[in-house]
Chains A and B, each alone.
Chain A
């Protein structure tokens, strides 16, 4: 996933809507540019994602009211948009959507602190250590939050009923 897509993806999942996410990414890119001096090497991606996440906290903190316009309608609409451009075929996209709707909903419904660890781990493929750096929490907390998040997801998804 290219870096700008990475940034936007995280911002969308954190903010819950694309308009806020684009503002977050724009601001985050400016900050990244400004703080390039503080980039100390290693993988650029977690460094950038940390800026995106911090920017999201700042901007969403200022404007709480815009939250939660997301999902059901919004996500279906955006799926349809992307179908027009880069999806293989409408049929495939439709099947894909049906399969993933519940999963998307379940993740979107997670409390923010659990949602962000799941997104960073499963979508951005960050290691525990990198997640710990992005969220500024100990690795032990990363592990317990991930574990809890997975449990919450399985509880929410009918497929995983025991």
Chain B
């Protein structure tokens, strides 16, 4: 089904703004070659665009604003259990600073990756990660000892996650939390990768599946299946860093005692 659009001078600005399909755009190129008016106008349009994009002042947020926002975010998200860790303030600052500094402040290049209606699961775990980091409620159980973290989940979710120690690979275990990305409460393991928090959501799954790493709204999401589980990893670390984390995690799974 092809809808025919008349290629004429009226399309000039849609062409300028990249709103035409490739076919229409090529047709408009041919139109411009033959239309002196469009040629002249387009030259002015492009000059104005470059003056605007190059000349308009871009305002930048400074640390004072960042800190002000941080200070005003709700300190206590609703309906949360008492946390088992004491230095909450520190966590809140780290999580929210990570968010506004690097996470929410995701790089502009990802903006062009629009994926409407795609992958509700990825969106769900991204949201739970965002919510956790924004609220400062990153951990329900804080411990670097996997023998403390793993049993904490028992009775709270039907999933008994495998917990690996990645400290020697440079990714200390911070603890875990319970998230409900869809309808089921699921265990989420939290690691630190340099300045980044890494959330690993664990679901039972059969079969193995190789890793995929995707960018979504400024976050990296890695997913793979192994060892009877589906692992979904979200972080504001970039795709390469997250790939390295995934490799370390996978290696640790294969060498579990």
Q: Is the CB of B19 within 8 A of A127?
A: yes
Shortest Cβ-Cβ A-B pairs, 6 listed? A100-B55, A2-B105, A103-B55, A12-B59, A44-B217, A41-B123
Minimum CB distance partner of B108 in chain A: A1
Interface of B is mostly: helix
Q: Is A65 an interface residue (CB 8 A)?
A: no
For chain B, give the interface size range.
35 or more
Residue on A with the closest CB to B68? A26
Q: Which of B43-94 contact A (CB under 8 A)?
A: 44-45, 47-49, 51-61, 65-66, 68-69, 72-74
A41, A44, A103, A150: the one contacting B56 at CB < 8 Å is A103
> Which chain B residue shows the least CB distance to A127?
B19
CB distance from A15 to the nearest CB of B (A): 11
B19–A9 CB distance below 8 A: no
* B-chain residues with CB within 8 Å of residue A99 when the two chains form the complex: 54-55
Interface stretch among B27-35, B110-118, B248-256? B110-118
How many residue pairs between the two chains, A and B, have CB atoms under 8 Å in the bound complex? 140
A9: B residues at CB distance < 8 A: 58-60
Within the complex, what minimum Cβ distance (angstroms) separates A117 from chain B? 11
A118 adjacent to B52 (CB under 8 Å): yes
**Can you list 17 pairs linking A and B with CB atoms under 8 Å apart?**
A4-B69, A5-B61, A7-B61, A11-B59, A25-B65, A30-B73, A36-B134, A41-B116, A99-B54, A122-B49, A123-B58, A128-B14, A128-B17, A147-B13, A150-B13, A159-B51, A160-B47
Contact A5 B114 (CB under 8 A): no
A21 to chain B minimum Cβ distance, whole angstroms, is: 7
On whether A44 and B17 interact (CB within 8 A), knowing A33-B134, A160-B48, the answer reads no
Chain A residues in 8 Å Cβ range of B65: 4, 8, 22, 25-26
Whether A25 and B114, one on each chain, are in contact in the complex, defined by CB atoms closer than 8 angstroms, is: no
Inter-chain contact B127/A36, CB cutoff 8 Å? yes
Which of chain A's residues have a CB closer than 8 A to the CB of B57?
A: 75, 78-79, 100, 104
Q: Please state if A154 and B48 are interface contacts (CB–CB under 8 Å).
A: yes
Asked if B131 is at the interface of the complex by the 8 Å CB criterion, the answer is: yes
Q: Which of B60, B69, B111 contacts A43 (CB 8 A)?
A: B111
Chain B residues with Cβ below 8 Å from A160 are 44, 47-48
A21 partner, pick from B59, B108, B217, beta carbons under 8 A: B59
Q: Which of B17, B100, B106, B135 contacts A121 (CB 8 A)?
A: B17
Report the Cα distance A94→B227, complex, angstroms: 61
Contact B61 A25 (CB under 8 A): yes
**CA gap between A11 and B58 in the complex, in Å:** 11
- Closest Cβ of chain A to B74, distance in Å, is 7
Q: Is A134 on the interface with B (CB-CB < 8 A)?
A: no
- The reply to whether A30 and B56 form a contact with Cβ atoms under 8 Å apart is no
| A107 contacts B by Cβ under 8 Å | yes
**With the chains together, A127 CA to B55 CA distance in Å?**
21
Query: With A79-B57, A154-B48 given, is the CB distance from A2 to B107 under 8 Å?
Result: yes
